[in-house]
Amino acid sequence: MSILNFDFSKEIQRLKKEKNAIILAHNYQISQVQEVADFIGDSLKLSRLAGETDASYIVFCGVHFMAETASIISPDKKVLIPDLEAGCSLASSINPKELLKWKNENPNAVVVSYVNTSAEIKALSDYCCTSSNAVKVVKSIPADQPVLFLPDMFLGAYVAEETKRNNIKIWPGECHVHAGITDKDINSMLAKYSNAEFMVHPECSCTSSTLYHVSKGDINKDCKILSTEGMMKEARESKNNQFLIATEVGILHRMQEENPSKEFIPVKNDAVCKYMKKITVEKVHNSLINDVYEVKVPEKIARKAIIPIERMLAIT
C-alpha cells in the first residue's frame, strides 16, 4: 500500500488497543492529532489523566515538560513523546543553576513553579501550578511568606494582582507566542468585534494591561483570564455567540468542533507554537510502532519533583 493511501488513524486505533495505550493531546495540537486522541485538555487536566489511567503506555502529544510531568506522576507507565524536539521556550528560560542562585538570595521564600518547567526545576520547587490554578496555589501560601514565582512574568504579574501580594518576586521569563499577543492586537480586534466575548490566556503580554483597562472602564467589556481548558468550558457554557480568543490558535479547532453554532475569532492569527506543531499523526503512529521516544525522569529527580506536583494536585 502506498504511504498516501495508508490510513494512519485506523492503524493508530488498532495499535492503541493492542498495546493498551492512551493518547493524551494538548489543546494546541494540530486538528488531525486531536482527532486520534483519547483525551484533549490543558496541562492540569492532562496531568490528572496521566495519574488516573490504567493504560500501560501514555503517548503524550504536547511538549516535553508535559510528558515529563506524566512520567513523574505515573512512573510505572511507559510515557512516549512522538517528537523529542517538541520543547518549550518558556520552560527553557530558567535552569537549575539560576534557580539555586535565586533561592540562595531569598532563603525564606517559597518557590512556586509553573508546570512549564523541566523536571530538575520542579525538583527544586515547593509548589507547582498551572494557568488554571496559579492563583489558588499562591493564595494557599501564608500571606506573610515571600514567594518566588517562575518562570512566566505575565502569569506572575497576574497572580500578584489577583492575590494582592506585594511579596512575590517574579522570574523574567516569557512564552514567545503569548508575549507576542500585545495591547495593540487586542485593541484593534476589540474595535472590530465590539459584541464578542473576550478570553485571554494569562501568559499573554497584554494580560495585566487589559485587566487594568477593564478595571478603569477604558475597555468596556468583560475580560475572562482563563487556562485553555477554562476557555473550552466558557465557550460551551456562555450564552454569547461570538468570541475573541487570545492564545495559541490550535485551540480554535476544538472550540469550533464542539460549538458549531458559535463563532471563534483569534486575536492573532499567527500565534502559533512551533513546538506543539512538531507532532503529526505519522509521528504518533511511529511512536506506537517503535516505542519512541521514551520520556523517563531519573528516579533521584522524580522523587523530589513529585512533591510540588502532589501539593498542587491536592489544592485544586
Footprint on this chain of ligand SF4 (rule: CB under 6 A) = 63, 88-90, 116, 175, 177-178, 248, 273, 275-276
Residue 165 CA to residue 158 CA, distance in Å, equals 11
CB of 248 to ligand SF4, least distance (A): 5
Contact flag: residue 228 with ligand 13P (CB under 6 A): yes
Nearer to ligand 13P, 55 or 232 (CB): 232
Residue 237 CA to residue 254 CA, distance in Å, equals 15
Determine the residue type at 134. A
Q: Give which of 161, 114, 168 is closest to 141, Cα–Cα.
A: 168
Choice from 131, 133, 207, 210 touching ligand 13P (CB under 6 A): 131
Which of ligand SF4, ligand 13P, none does residue 37 bind to, with CB < 5 to 8 Å depending on kind?
none
Q: Is 56 helix (H, G, I), strand (E, B) or coil?
A: coil
Contact flag: residue 29 with ligand 13P (CB under 6 A): no
CB of 82 to ligand 13P, least distance (A): 17
Residue 78 CA to residue 70 CA, distance in Å, equals 10
CB of 268 to ligand 13P, least distance (A): 14
CB of 15 to ligand SF4, least distance (A): 26
Contact flag: residue 203 with ligand 13P (CB under 6 A): yes
Q: Output b/e per residue, 243-263; b: 16+ Cβ within 10 A.
A: bbbbbbbbbbbbbeeebeebe
Choice from 64, 227, 271, 297 touching ligand 13P (CB under 6 A): 227
Nearer to ligand 13P, 109 or 245 (CB): 245
Helices (H), 182-292: 183-192, 207-216, 228-237, 251-258, 281-290
CB of 203 to ligand 13P, least distance (A): 5
Cell of 257: 468542533
